[in-house]
Structure 1
Amino acid sequence: MYILVVEDQQDIIEMLRLTWSDSRDKLEYISSVAQARRYIESNETSAYDCMIIDINLPDGSGLELLREARLRSEIPVVMISGAGDADSRADAISVGADDYLMKPFSVKELRARVHRLYATRQSARSAQLATSFFVGRVVCDLQRLLLERSDMTVSLTALEARILQVLHNSNGADCPKSSIARQALFREYDPRDKTIDVYINRLRGKLGELDDRSADAIKTVRGVGYRLIGR
């Protein structure tokens, strides 16, 4: 799992670094509302499987950050706070938090809650994922790994299909290369690695074989990544 932690207390950060025992999880730390807002506005949060947000941050409220995140994303969010009561928890849940923990908390419990949220969300997502959708005027059939237009077809590789799925899941929003790398290539994005660009060009070429206009459905977003536009 890729987890974005918005927390300014160094002792909490060190505790998480030292005692988060699942080596399969990668935690990234930022410490302010301003930093987190940049992630949200650029859709960079789509590269993560969960967010952990402290309610009391040095430059604003984690609840306001949660509101902004919920306008753009359904990413699972766990709120943490060093002060509050049952009403505080209710407020966080009503704004859109999936869970809430008071400090001091058990890292083991936090990890278990994050994993539970992720598993629940993945199960729901798997049930809802489209296996067939349009890319421009071309039908993308992920189950059969085919692009189709009229009576013509072009085959897709598994990686090409995963890239199209990630772009499709962004629902017309900018899709950062970091998100494509993590969800389709299963690795961290390296700006020196041109694999994503090469495969995007291949996809445009395959789409263009079936329909010239549909090759333009995958738009380049300079400095960010790509965007899949509607028909």
Structure 2
Amino acid sequence: MDKLPKKDINILMGGANAKIGRDNTGYDRIMGSHGLGEMNDNGERFANFCLFNKMVIGGSIFPHKRVHKATWVSPDNVTENQIDHFCVSQRFRRSLNDVIVQRGADIGSDHHMLLGKLKLRLKKQGNRKEVPRKRYQVNRLNGATKEDFKLCLRNRFQPLASLEEEEDVETHWSRVKSAFTATCEEVLGYQKKEYNEWISQKSLDLIERRRHLKEQVNSSTVELEDQKKKR
């Protein structure tokens, strides 16, 4: 945890087999009083870990019914515990809106799905616009275009040969770079950006067909119900 950036919102979640309980004495900075059951040894270790790393245990903050707190149930459906947790950085406590168990999720486990809701308040980063990167059509460097490129570049390099040798490296490099870029713009030109559809026409047709079939099924169901009512 020490290696994580301090300004980032750190989220810690998972099953720790740690029961934190309702008593938050000594842990009121990182725990509420809405936990389930009583704290066990793993729960004490977990609470100390969160206290040391300034992490808030979300499941202890929000008041919910027991069924929305218990994250684990025994095979005989008798024992329930709150041993899975969702924690966030203490400085982002106000961004945590809720932590609740969703029993309706079919996940094939004796653990229930734990849902944490966050609402971040992000600062706007000015109006900086990224300049799109332009690429030259280098695939045109063949045949006649290749010879035109060589001739144009040679003509641009000829004036550079008459310059004084004492010219500094940066200035010389700038002239060489300008010669290359000007030649590329004149002879090759820029690549045109291609926009690829994110979904194929075949998929669109199948979606449309499925929609029509669903409408037919729904229509048939309504007609059948109307006939039953008339009888």
Tell me if TM exceeds 0.5.
no
Q: TM-score scaled by structure 2?
A: 0.19
Structure having the larger proportion of residues in helix: 1
Larger Rg: 2
Structure having the larger proportion of residues in strand: 1
Q: Which has the higher contact order (CA 8 A, sep 6+)?
A: 1
